[in-house]
Structure 1
Amino acid sequence: MQVTETLNEGLKRSYTITVPAAELDAKVQEKLVEAQPEIEMKGFRKGKVPMAMLKKQYGPRLLGDAMQDAIDGAMKSHFEATGDRPALQPDVKMVGGEEWAEGQDVVVEMTYETLPEIPELDTSSVTLERLVVKADDASVEEALKNLAATAQSFEDRRKGSKAKDGDQIVIDFKGSVDGEVFEGGTAEDYPLVLGSGSFIPGFEEQLVGAKADDDVEVKVTFPENYGASHLAGKEALFECKVKAVKAPKEAELDDELAKKYGAEDLAGLKAQIAQRLEAEYAGASRAVLKRALLDQLDGMVSFDLPPSLVEAEAGQIAHQLYHEEHPDDHEHNHGAIEATDEHKKLAERRVRLGLLLAEIGRKADVQVTDQEMTQAVLNQARQYPGQERAFFEFVQKNPQMQQQLRAPLFEDKVVDHIVSGATVTEKEVSKDELQTSIDALDEI
């Protein structure tokens, strides 16, 4: 077998791999000898089928297997010998294609872009500032009031009172389209908070001003993108019977409220809220710290980037931004989206930092554990209530999805590794100052 270099330009590499016909024939013969003892054929005992007949029957398939084994082995040996690490899967094409005939040498052309040599980086010279925010009394009280609002109850209004936004009305309703009652459009004793937006647009507004014992006809049009296609865009009539009008009553800020949320008393609940707030602040502070770290790293190194990786990343960025700017376009049949110079510049930064972090992590032997992966899958599965098991099975069978979940875990662990050896000072700031720093991340 012979491997000949045909291109070595920047990070681009091209080689021809020649597998002699005699070598292929020997591999086929070897496979036939291995299989012969287990093969039965009409007229012959098991293991006694003549080699010539085996070659005629199984030779073509085994020849294909032998070609693939030989090429895979040549590629593996080449990468071990050169130390090249392909940026993407190498492009392998057979020279001659359909003109090739059995008995001829097999020649394939292998083309790829190798990952660049990344210079050594002394991360101990990195200096960072960690923003620290304490949960002040005002923030805790605000969070406590919001908690009380979610735990509100409702009390009957005085007889004859008209329902207002924020009130809860208890209704029986029956919905119909073109005079036909439709499935799922009927309920009794349904508690509806007016202004909650839990019903289709226009429904709740027509019940504002209703009183207990009123009969109200609500006329609405289902949205064009309504989940039930047979109702989408249709006009509907709901016959509603108002059975009660109730005013909201916020929960008292006392020990009873605290016990509802698992605390012993109000002081304990406030301590829990303060702890949660500071965890949220710490998460936001980490995002600011990470951006500052990446900015520093980006200015500390320079190396060639594989054009294919930059092009793929720029395309992803352009596609993502298109859908952010066109949130109503849920399809992907919008045709090619041209990446701009700005997209390419951002792609270069992401690829450069991605390769740098990967190299730092490789040299530091940073690993994502099975337990960390399982937790990541659990967190993702929570987004699909009732389908958690199916999501787990999907991830198990999908290496690409596994990589999508593993990549951010690996990156965060590498960031932690670098930060642990950097010079980090702490600066106490207000939550508003922290928010300003977070907002600035989106402007860069």
Structure 2
Amino acid sequence: MQVTETLNEGLKRAYAITVTADELDAKVNDKLVEAQPEIEMKGFRKGKVPMALLKKQFGEQLLGESMQEVIDGAMNKHFEDSGDRPAMQPKVEMKNGEEWKPGSDVEVEMAYEALPVIPEVDMSGISLEKLVVKADDAAVEDALNNLAETAQDFKSRKAGVKAKDGDQVVMDFVGKIDGEAFEGGSGEDFPLVLGSNQFIPGFEEQLVGVKAEEEKDVTVSFPEDYQADHLAGKEAVFSCTIKDVKKPVAAKIDDELAQKFGAEDLEGLKGQISERLEAEYAGAARAVMKRALLDQLDELVSFDLPPSLVEAEAGQIAHQLWHEENPEVQDHNHPEIEATDEHNALAERRVRLGLLLAELGQKAEVEVTDAEMTQAIMNQARQYPGQERQFFEFIQQNQQMQQQLRAPLFEDKVVDHVFDQATISEKEVSKDDLEKAVEALEDE
């Protein structure tokens, strides 16, 4: 086998690989010798089929397999000897494919972009500021008021008062299509919050203004895409008997409210809220500090970037931003999206930092544990209630999805590793100051 370098320009590499006919023939023979003891053929005892007959019967079938193994072996040996790491899957092309025939040498061209050598970074020279926000009494009170609203109750309005949007109407109702009641179209003592969109479009709006002990006919049409085919697109009349009209009343902020949310008493609930708020503040502060770290790392390092990685990343950025600007387009049936200079600049930053963090993580032997992956999958699965098991099975069978979940976990662990080596000073700020810092990240 002969390997000859044909291109060495920046990170671009290309090699001509020649596999001789004798090497291929020897590989086929090795496979036949290995398989011979287990082969049975009419007229011969097991393991006694002549090699010449085996080669005639199976040689052509094994030739392609042997060719692939020899070429893969040559590529693996090249990467071991050179130390190169390809940025993407190498492009392999058989140069004499059209005229090749058994008994001839195989000529292959392998081309790839090598990952660059990442320079050392002195982490001790990195200086960061950690924003610290304490959960003050006002923030805790705001959170308590929000909880009280979510735990709201309803209290009957005075007789004769009309229902408003947001009120709860307690009613009996019977729905009919063409004068005939239909299954699932009736209810008794049903509590409906006006504006909740619990019923089909147009229903709740017609109940605004009703009073207790009033009867009201509501005429609506079921949507064309309604899940029950026998109702889709049809007009229905609901005869409603209003039994009560209730106004929303926020729950009292007391021990009873606290117990609804799993605390022993009000003071315990306040403590839980304070811890949750400070955890949220800490998460936001970490995001701000992480951006500052990435900015410093971006200034500290400089190295050549594989053009294919930058091009792929820029295309992905452009595509994502286009869909954000055109949310009505859910599929990929749209004009080709060209990456701009701005997209390319952002792609270069992402690729450079991605390669640097990967290198730092590898040197620090950072690993994402099975337990951490399981937790990440569980967090994602919660977005699909009732289908958690199917989601788990999908992830287990999809390597690309596993990598998408593992990548941010790995990056955060590497960032924490760098934080441990950097100089970090704390600065206590207000909640508003932290929110402005977070908003600044979104604007960049």
TM-score, normalized by length of structure 1? 0.94
Question: Which residue number in structure 1 is paired with residue 122 of structure 2?
Answer: 122
Q: Take 1:401 and 1:115, find their aligned partners in 2: how far apart are those partners?
A: 23
User: Are 1:130 and 1:285, in contact at CA under 8 Å, matched by a contact in 2?
Assistant: yes
Q: Take 2:79 and 2:228, find their aligned partners in 1: how far apart are those partners?
A: 55
The alpha-carbon deviation at position 238 of structure 1 amounts to: 4.6
Partner SS for 2:384: coil
| Structure 2 CA distance for partners of 1:250 and 1:122, relative to 1, 3 Å | same
Question: Residue 239 of structure 1 aligns to which amino acid in structure 2?
Answer: F
Question: Which residue number in structure 2 is paired with residue 442 of structure 1?
Answer: 442
Question: Which residue number in structure 1 is paired with residue 236 of structure 2?
Answer: 237
Q: Take 2:25 and 2:176, find their aligned partners in 1: how far apart are those partners?
A: 76
Q: Take 1:175 and 1:236, find their aligned partners in 2: how far apart are those partners?
A: 10
Q: Take 1:227 and 1:361, find their aligned partners in 2: how far apart are those partners?
A: 52
Q: Take 1:202 and 1:410, find their aligned partners in 2: how far apart are those partners?
A: 50
Mapping of residues 348-427 of structure 1, within 5 Å: 348-427=348-427
| Structure 2 CA distance for partners of 1:334 and 1:171, relative to 1, 3 Å | farther
Question: Which residue number in structure 2 is paired with residue 78 of structure 1?
Answer: 78
1:218 lines up with 2:222 in the alignment: no
The alpha-carbon deviation at position 177 of structure 1 amounts to: 7.2
| Structure 2 CA distance for partners of 1:180 and 1:94, relative to 1, 3 Å | farther
Question: Which residue number in structure 2 is paired with residue 53 of structure 1?
Answer: 53
Question: Which residue number in structure 2 is paired with residue 336 of structure 1?
Answer: 336
User: Are 1:114 and 1:306, in contact at CA under 8 Å, matched by a contact in 2?
Assistant: yes
Question: Residue 26 of structure 1 aligns to which amino acid in structure 2?
Answer: A
User: Are 2:226 and 2:233, in contact at CA under 8 Å, matched by a contact in 1?
Assistant: no
Question: Which residue number in structure 2 is paired with residue 152 of structure 1?
Answer: 152
Summarize deviations over 1:48-72 as a string: whole Å, max 9, x none: 2222222222222211111111111
Mapping of residues 181-330 of structure 1, within 5 Å: 187-220=187-220, 228=227, 234=233, 236-241=235-240, 242-330=242-330
Partner SS for 2:5: strand
Summarize deviations over 1:237-276 as a string: whole Å, max 9, x none: 3514134322222211111111121211101100100100
Question: Which residue number in structure 2 is paired with residue 41 of structure 1?
Answer: 41
Partner SS for 1:4: strand
User: Are 1:36 and 1:49, in contact at CA under 8 Å, matched by a contact in 2?
Assistant: yes
Partner SS for 1:97: coil
Question: Residue 316 of structure 2 aligns to which amino acid in structure 1?
Answer: Q
Q: Which one is further off, 420-429 or 236-245?
A: 236-245
Where do 5+ consecutive residues of structure 2 fail to align?
A: none
Summarize deviations over 1:378-414 as a string: whole Å, max 9, x none: 1111111111111111111111111100100000001
Q: Take 1:63 and 1:227, find their aligned partners in 2: how far apart are those partners?
A: 59
Question: Residue 93 of structure 1 aligns to which amino acid in structure 2?
Answer: E
**How many residues are paired up?**
443
Question: Residue 6 of structure 2 aligns to which amino acid in structure 1?
Answer: T
User: Are 2:177 and 2:237, in contact at CA under 8 Å, matched by a contact in 1?
Assistant: no
Q: Take 1:336 and 1:179, find their aligned partners in 2: how far apart are those partners?
A: 54
| Structure 2 CA distance for partners of 1:163 and 1:344, relative to 1, 3 Å | same
Partner SS for 2:98: helix
Question: Residue 52 of structure 2 aligns to which amino acid in structure 1?
Answer: A
Q: Take 1:125 and 1:369, find their aligned partners in 2: how far apart are those partners?
A: 30
Question: Which residue number in structure 2 is paired with residue 88 of structure 1?
Answer: 88
Q: Take 2:16 and 2:314, find their aligned partners in 1: how far apart are those partners?
A: 31
Q: Take 1:299 and 1:179, find their aligned partners in 2: how far apart are those partners?
A: 75
| Structure 2 CA distance for partners of 1:441 and 1:105, relative to 1, 3 Å | same
The alpha-carbon deviation at position 183 of structure 1 amounts to: 7.2
The alpha-carbon deviation at position 340 of structure 1 amounts to: 1.1
Summarize deviations over 1:344-390 as a string: whole Å, max 9, x none: 11111111110111111111111111111111111111111111111
Partner SS for 1:98: coil
Partner SS for 2:190: strand
The alpha-carbon deviation at position 148 of structure 1 amounts to: 1.0
The alpha-carbon deviation at position 211 of structure 1 amounts to: 2.2
User: Are 1:215 and 1:239, in contact at CA under 8 Å, matched by a contact in 2?
Assistant: no
User: Are 1:84 and 1:114, in contact at CA under 8 Å, matched by a contact in 2?
Assistant: yes
Q: Take 1:187 and 1:58, find their aligned partners in 2: how far apart are those partners?
A: 75
The alpha-carbon deviation at position 43 of structure 1 amounts to: 2.4
| Structure 2 CA distance for partners of 1:278 and 1:81, relative to 1, 3 Å | same
Partner SS for 1:375: helix
Mapping of residues 129-168 of structure 1, within 5 Å: 129-168=129-168
Q: Take 2:165 and 2:119, find their aligned partners in 1: how far apart are those partners?
A: 64
Q: Take 1:216 and 1:323, find their aligned partners in 2: how far apart are those partners?
A: 45
| Structure 2 CA distance for partners of 1:26 and 1:328, relative to 1, 3 Å | same
Q: Take 1:181 and 1:217, find their aligned partners in 2: how far apart are those partners?
A: 14
Q: Which one is further off, 330-339 or 183-192?
A: 183-192
Q: Which one is further off, 210-219 or 133-142?
A: 210-219
| Structure 2 CA distance for partners of 1:66 and 1:183, relative to 1, 3 Å | farther
Q: Which one is further off, 245-254 or 23-32?
A: 245-254
Question: Residue 426 of structure 1 aligns to which amino acid in structure 2?
Answer: E
| Structure 2 CA distance for partners of 1:184 and 1:285, relative to 1, 3 Å | farther
| Structure 2 CA distance for partners of 1:79 and 1:227, relative to 1, 3 Å | farther
Q: Take 1:427 and 1:391, find their aligned partners in 2: how far apart are those partners?
A: 42
| Structure 2 CA distance for partners of 1:182 and 1:358, relative to 1, 3 Å | farther
Q: Take 1:391 and 1:160, find their aligned partners in 2: how far apart are those partners?
A: 52
| Structure 2 CA distance for partners of 1:305 and 1:324, relative to 1, 3 Å | same
The alpha-carbon deviation at position 124 of structure 1 amounts to: 1.1
| Structure 2 CA distance for partners of 1:134 and 1:26, relative to 1, 3 Å | same
| Structure 2 CA distance for partners of 1:56 and 1:420, relative to 1, 3 Å | same
Identity rate of aligned residues, in percent? 70
User: Are 2:226 and 2:232, in contact at CA under 8 Å, matched by a contact in 1?
Assistant: no
CA RMSD of aligned residues (A): 2.2
Partner SS for 2:7: strand
Q: Which one is further off, 36-45 or 336-345?
A: 36-45
Q: Take 1:343 and 1:229, find their aligned partners in 2: how far apart are those partners?
A: 47
User: Are 2:114 and 2:306, in contact at CA under 8 Å, matched by a contact in 1?
Assistant: yes
Question: Residue 205 of structure 1 aligns to which amino acid in structure 2?
Answer: E
Q: Take 1:21 and 1:97, find their aligned partners in 2: how far apart are those partners?
A: 14
User: Are 1:217 and 1:237, in contact at CA under 8 Å, matched by a contact in 2?
Assistant: no
Q: Take 2:237 and 2:299, find their aligned partners in 1: how far apart are those partners?
A: 64
The alpha-carbon deviation at position 186 of structure 1 amounts to: 5.3
